[in-house]
Structure formats: C-alpha cells, structure tokens
Chains A and B, each alone.
Chain A
C-alpha cells in the first residue's frame, strides 16, 4: 500500500474530510500572518533556550517563517497524495538533521491546531458545521504530525546506524605491515557484536589483501574471560579456513592465568606474549628472511 493511502487508512481520513479541510482552509488562510506570529510567540515561550538554538539570527527565523507559511498554505489545499507525503517526509528529515526534539515539534503542532480551530476560527459557521470541520482538520493535522515524526524516527535511527558504523570502522584499524601480513590492535571491551564486526572486517581484509598472517594484539583488551577467549578462537579458526594464520599477541601473565583457570581450550590458536614474537612468527609465515 502506498504510504499516503496507509496513513489515510490509519487515521480514518476520508475524501469528505479532505474536502472539509479545503473549505475550512479557504476561510482561515487570510489569517495566515496572524497565525505565524502567534505560533512563533508560542514557540519562543515554550521552547525556551531551544528556540535560540534553532533560530540563532533574524535571517534564519525569517527563512523558517516563510517555509512554515508555504507549508501551511499547502496543507490547506489538502492534497494528500504521494507528492505531498514526500514533501512532509522532507520536513521530517530536516527536523532530524536539525535535531529538533519530537516533543517540541508535537507541542507546536498541537498549538497550531488550537490556533486554527479556536483562536483563529472563522465566523459564520453553524455549530454542526464547525464541529465537523474541526474534527476533520484535527485528524489531518494529527496524520501529518505522525508522518513527520515517523520520518524523523527513521532518519534518526539511520543517523545512529551511520555513526555506529563509523565508530566500528574507527575501532578496527587494520594495518598492512607488509605484503601478506596484517595487524589489528584490539582496544577496550570485546563483546559479541564487536567481535563479529571485527571478524567480518578481518576476513574481508584477509581475502582482499591475500594475507597469510594476521596479528590480533589484545594487550589493550580490558577483560579476557571465557566469552572473549571464544571470540578470539573463532576468529583464528575462520582465518585459518581462509588460509591465513591468526596470531593472538599481547597475552599477559594475568590473561594466561585466567585462561587456564577458566579451563578454556584454546586449541590450535597461536598466541604470543608480546608483539615482537608475533611479528617474527608472522614474517616467517610470509616467507621473509630474518636475522637470527
């Protein structure tokens, strides 16, 4: 189902409702300037210091007011089609990028609804007509707010995903020491998610760089317990399946003791106490002659 149709179904907005909005709109749009003025007065008071963050200077404020004005004029045309939905999704994107709090946006929309249906309500409507029109207007405003917040949420999670991806990339700096030898210093906490990310990147690099040896330096790993040891064992097994020997370096006395006390079977995992020994082993695997 197309998004505009889905939202109409969710909010039970009929063609008659949209017609009500159009007719009501013709009566209220002459008050658009008063509306903008009152809405910004409300935002200035309600948003507090956030207001000056979003509107730091007169130019920004004027630009935002002009955009709001044309957005509401479009709203009153009640064209709830794919094009209109796309324009409101853009509004959600912009709000996410500007990090506007959803509660501020929703409070502003609630106030806008109040302004249009109470303070700036047109004269000359019977009570029945007024009630029907206000119900339709409020439903369409709620539908529009839901669409914007929906887009806002999706865009925000996309931004978070991008940031966490960037963080993972930064936390797995794989260095090529020479042809066929790669090294990755692991720093911090190695949980299951991070271990899988590291393994994925490590194997990709093994394939791309045709590595025969891969040094995983764990001197910076905060805690080595059964779970961490199992992650390391899996990494070395997977690398070996690709024809690459993974060497775990930086195994301190304390870590060695923990591994033995926990009864972890490290199998054929190659380990060294320091990086120097790991490098020597890796260079030998890569066929580099070394001084005795």
Chain B
C-alpha cells in the first residue's frame, strides 16, 4: 500500500508483509481487502504483518478502516500483526479512544515474522 493508492503485498515465506504509507482512504482499504483476501484464499498464508513504520499520523477512522481489513483476514484463519507503530500514533489513537483491543503488535517487523514462524 503506498501513497499513490496502489496496493503492495510482499510475500515473505508463508506470511504477507504490507507496508502502510500515506493517507488511508476508504477506496484504498477496499482495494487492499480485495487483493489481500484473494491472496489468502489460496491458502498458503499463515500471517499478515502491517508495517506501520511509515505512518506518522493516524486518526480513529483510519484505524477503524485498518481494523476492518484485519478482522476480515482473521476470519480467514490468519494471524494479523501490526509492527513498528510510532509512539505518536499509539498515543494519539488511545487519546482519541480508538478501539485498539483487536490489535496485536510487535516492536519490529522481524519480531512479527519471528512470532508468525512459531504459529
């Protein structure tokens, strides 16, 4: 997923790494969900990691859109992890009372990949 609205999925072993950058629009999230779920249907994926290192600002609506994609993926039996959420983003989301209960997170992408290996 990048700033010009294209969806980028990187396959790493049996996981999918999705770098998140730029504005998280409805259209972009719908496109991401479509591409991701189609990919998950093939049945080779155990986990999905959203690399959040490129996100400096995120509001509660953006996070809710991300949640919808994550929950859809979880329903297909994969583990979804957020990695490298920035301090400002984490603080902002809880201060905005965003629903963060669904999110499982790791400090780094490597830790997320390591966690998925153990599944």
Contact with A along B37-79 (1 / 0, CB 8 A): 0000000000000000000000000000000000000000000
State how many angstroms separate the Cβ of A246 from the closest Cβ of chain B: 11
CB of B2 within 8 Å of the partner chain: no
B residues less than 8 Å from A234 (CB atoms): 94-95
A residues less than 8 Å from B83 (CB atoms): 243
Report how far A243 CA is from B51 CA in the complex, Å: 12
CB of B107 within 8 Å of the partner chain: yes
CB of B82 within 8 Å of the partner chain: yes
State how many angstroms separate the Cβ of A289 from the closest Cβ of chain B: 18
Contact with A along B73-107 (1 / 0, CB 8 A): 00000000011011111110111000011010111
B residues less than 8 Å from A244 (CB atoms): 107
The prevalent SS among residues of A at the interface is helix
A residues less than 8 Å from B82 (CB atoms): 241, 243
Q: Which of B87, B88, B91, B105 contacts A240 (CB 8 A)?
A: B105
Report how far A199 CA is from B90 CA in the complex, Å: 10
Do A207 and B87 touch across chains, with their CB atoms under 8 A apart? yes
Do B93 and A211 touch across chains, with their CB atoms under 8 A apart? no
Report how far A268 CA is from B99 CA in the complex, Å: 13
Do B105 and A243 touch across chains, with their CB atoms under 8 A apart? yes
From 258 to 289 in chain A, residues with beta carbon under 8 angstroms from any chain B beta carbon are 267-268
* A211, closest chain B residue (CB): B107
* Of listed B90, B91, B100, B107, residue having the most chain A CB within 10 A: B90
CB of A164 within 8 Å of the partner chain: no
Report how far A207 CA is from B91 CA in the complex, Å: 12
Report how far A228 CA is from B35 CA in the complex, Å: 43
Q: Which of A200, A210, A267, A268 contacts B87 (CB 8 A)?
A: A200
State how many angstroms separate the Cβ of A242 from the closest Cβ of chain B: 5
Report how far A235 CA is from B91 CA in the complex, Å: 8
State how many angstroms separate the Cβ of B71 from the closest Cβ of chain A: 16
User: In which size bucket is the chain A interface?
Assistant: 20 to 34
CB of B25 within 8 Å of the partner chain: no
Contact with B along A204-238 (1 / 0, CB 8 A): 10110011100000000000000000000011011
Do B101 and A210 touch across chains, with their CB atoms under 8 A apart? no
* A235, closest chain B residue (CB): B94
Q: Which of B90, B101, B108, B111 contacts A238 (CB 8 A)?
A: B90
Known contacts A203-B90, A207-B86, A207-B87: does B100 contact A241 (CB below 8 Å)?
Answer: yes
CB of A149 within 8 Å of the partner chain: no
* Of listed B86, B94, B95, residue having the most chain A CB within 10 A: B94
CB of A14 within 8 Å of the partner chain: no
Known contacts A212-B107, A241-B100, A268-B101: does B87 contact A196 (CB below 8 Å)?
Answer: no
Do A239 and B95 touch across chains, with their CB atoms under 8 A apart? no
Do A238 and B93 touch across chains, with their CB atoms under 8 A apart? yes
Q: Which of B91, B103, B108 contacts A210 (CB 8 A)?
A: B108
A residues less than 8 Å from B90 (CB atoms): 203, 238-239, 241-242
State how many angstroms separate the Cβ of B21 from the closest Cβ of chain A: 18
A residues less than 8 Å from B108 (CB atoms): 210, 243
Report how far A28 CA is from B90 CA in the complex, Å: 66
Report how far A239 CA is from B107 CA in the complex, Å: 10
Do A200 and B100 touch across chains, with their CB atoms under 8 A apart? no
Chain B residues engaging chain A, CB cutoff 8 angstroms: 82-83, 85-91, 93-95, 100-101, 103, 105-108, 111
Query: 10 closest pairs, A vs B, by CB?
Result: A203-B87, A243-B106, A243-B107, A238-B90, A241-B90, A243-B105, A234-B94, A238-B94, A237-B94, A207-B87
Chain A residues engaging chain B, CB cutoff 8 angstroms: 196, 199-200, 203-204, 206-207, 210-212, 234-235, 237-244, 267-268
Selected A-B contacts with CB under 8 Å, 14 pairs = A200-B91, A207-B107, A211-B107, A234-B95, A238-B90, A238-B91, A238-B94, A240-B100, A241-B93, A241-B100, A241-B105, A242-B90, A243-B107, A267-B101
